[in-house]
A and B are shown apart, each in its own frame.
Chain A
Amino acid sequence: MMNGEALYQLHLDRIRKALACEPVDRIPVVPCANAYLARSQHVVLKEYISDFDKACTANLAELTRLDADGTQNVIFSPYLLGTQWLSKAAIPGVELGDDDMWQITEAENMKFEEYEDIKRMGWDAWQKKFIAEKCNDNWNRLEPFFAANPKAYQRFHEAGIPCIADFLMITPFEYFCGGRSLETFFTEDLMEEPELMHEIFDLVLESNLKTYRQQILDTHATGVWIGGWRTGPDLISPAMFDEFVWPSFKAYYDLCIEMGVIPTFHLDSNWDLCIDKFKRLEDKTYILGLDSKTDMRNARKVLGPNVCLLGDVPCELFAFGTPDQVADYVTRMLEDVGPWGVIISSGCDIPSDAKPENVKAMADAAHEFLNTHPQK
């Protein structure tokens, strides 16, 4: 059997080839999951988010069962969610039952006047204070998580499973859309005070670029997610996307390229109307992660053969479908948009109630594909 280091390199090479849209010896499978990994290994969510050794063991056990080529996260804490959306998160074993799914609380957590505080204090200092005071002191609560990361990474490395999303790059839009709450942010802030929003966004972006640059160095990052949760055309018009979101996407992407880090655009919900925007980026340099609401076949048509697509087995199929249906979904997707330049994964997270046999069927179908469909 191959040792961990060799396996790690083999897997990472395969992922890099897929990124470059070059031929691979098998289609890589890089899942994205947390609660599912816990459930599949019968770990209660309360423990999963506090006992990180146990969580890491569960994750490795399931990813090894799947023979995964990589992962999109190593361990997870729901306190991360609060820092992404300036919100409180409800936590299993705290506000929720021990095995209930965590959730972001959608509320107007931040007041309009606080934009002035950001200008005065700077983004970094302001968000530290705000998150301490208004988001359940998330940064402090994340300390055990961050402390557990190096060991978890080491264990993944030894198991030969590379992580392609070492941390998340958050656009200014996401923070305030969360903190101010969706509706208030759109109707009061973006609509009434666009100039102020630009000023704030620029300030946040500049600060984050510094932070992320350092974070890439500190974590020796292989890849990152550039998150598009509330910034897609289901929520905003393509023109607003260009005005308020694209500048951050582009700046984060440029930072990744400069630092030799793989950017994965993690795009939730339907991005059909904005897929063409990604033609502005250089081919073969980024991964587009789609969640099955976006038409992946259309994305291939629009972007051409030289962009790596990651996705997109639907949540519902994992939960309610059969292994045959899942396998069929994956095979047809690879026939239509592959085989090169594709990484097979769930669309967004594998849902916590996914059937393990369905998840396995996804991995097997991808891994088998080149045997049943030999390429010339």
Chain B
Amino acid sequence: MEVLLFGGFLGSGKTTVINRLLHDLTDQGKSAAIVENEIGTVGIDDVLVAQTGLKVTPLFGGCVCCQLTADLLTAVHTIEDQVNPDVLVVEMTGLAMMDGIRDTFARYGRDTLRLHTIAVVDMARWPKLIRAMEPVVRRQLAGADLVLVNKTDVVPADPEALEQMSQLAGGAPCRTLSAQSMEPGAVLTLIREVLR
């Protein structure tokens, strides 16, 4: 099972990207399931959920994030047993640190899982973030296989910033986009190309 794990700060556009991706996957006849580390109105496309019977599993973590990683892996294993979709998409809150999640999957996850981690960054907010909370940004990017630099319609991508992101992400590729206005198929193509 492919596991695509999305992380990134509050409001960076994770759900928007995921909705596009789910449409793209469905269009290609692929089955998907989703884990949401969020409550209430998560914003996953209701119509799509109704049409495809897409399974949305909520994931709740005790205090902040110490229990979350173990709970996430348990949930992933359960979904593989019960649903076994082609792709499992996971949306984490901005507080989840991806390098820790990767370690846990590597140590305790099944061999059948192929985990890809994707950090979504809001280009418009990047300068502020890196100035005010470098340690968090560093840890968020450290475990990413791919960095999606979103909202480039608001602020165009700055090459220096992209360089810095890629460096923090251990050389992982950065791709710019405006998730709000992507053509059908474009998000999937982008992710495919990089995470082969």
Contacts and interface: CB of A to CB of B under 8 A. Distances in A.
Q: Do A and B come from one complex?
A: yes
Interface of A: 34-35, 81, 90, 95-96, 100-106, 181-183, 186-187, 190-191, 229-230, 233-237, 268-269, 291, 293, 315-316, 318-321, 347-349, 351-354
Given A95-B39, A234-B97, A353-B71, A106 B10 contact: yes
Contacts of A104: 63-64
A319 B70 CA distance: 7
B62 A35 contact: yes
Contact of A191 (B39, B66, B108, B128): B128
Shortest Cβ-Cβ A-B pairs, 10 listed = A320-B108, A348-B66, A101-B60, A319-B70, A191-B132, A103-B60, A186-B133, A187-B132, A351-B67, A186-B132
Contacts of A234: 97, 135-136, 139
Interface in B74-113: 74, 93-95, 97, 100, 104, 107-108
Contacts of B135: 233-237
Nearest to A348: B66
Most B CB within 10 A of own CB, among A102, A316, A318: A316
A90 B62 CA distance: 10
A106 B93 contact: yes
B58 A100 contact: yes
A274 to B, nearest CB: 11
B150 interface: no
Contacts of A90: 39-40, 60
B60 A182 contact: no
Contacts, number: 121
**Interface of A (DSSP majority class):** loop
B53 interface: no
B153 interface: no
Interface of B: 9-10, 39-40, 58, 60-67, 69-71, 73-74, 93-95, 97, 100, 104, 107-108, 125, 128-129, 131-136, 139
B71 A187 contact: no
A348 B63 contact: yes
B43 to A, nearest CB: 14
A316 B69 contact: yes
Contact of B67 (A101, A181, A320): A101
Contacts of A233: 135
Contacts of A100: 58, 60
A318 B132 CA distance: 35
Contacts of A316: 69-70, 73, 104, 107-108
13 contacts: A95-B40, A104-B63, A106-B95, A182-B136, A183-B94, A191-B131, A315-B66, A315-B67, A348-B67, A349-B62, A351-B70, A352-B62, A352-B67
B62 A291 contact: no
Contacts of A291: 66
Contacts of B62: 34-35, 101-103, 349, 351-352
B67 A182 contact: no
Contact of A103 (B39, B94, B97): B39
Nearest to A101: B60
Contacts of B9: 183
A151 to B, nearest CB: 25
Most A CB within 10 A of own CB, among B66, B97, B107, B139: B66
A19 B95 CA distance: 33
Most A CB within 10 A of own CB, among B9, B62, B134: B62
Most A CB within 10 A of own CB, among B58, B104, B133: B133
A235 B73 contact: no
B97 A349 contact: no
A182 B10 contact: yes
Contacts of B64: 104, 229-230, 268
B136 A101 contact: no
Contacts of B131: 187, 191
B136 A235 contact: yes
B70 A320 contact: yes
Nearest to B138: A234
Most B CB within 10 A of own CB, among A103, A191, A291, A320: A103
Contacts of B66: 268-269, 291, 315, 347-349, 351
A237 B60 contact: no
Given A96-B60, A316-B73, 13 more contacts: A81-B63, A183-B9, A183-B133, A190-B132, A235-B135, A236-B133, A236-B135, A237-B134, A293-B100, A318-B70, A320-B107, A351-B66, A352-B71
Contact of B95 (A34, A182, A190): A182
A183 B10 contact: yes
A269 B66 CA distance: 8
Most B CB within 10 A of own CB, among A81, A105, A320: A320
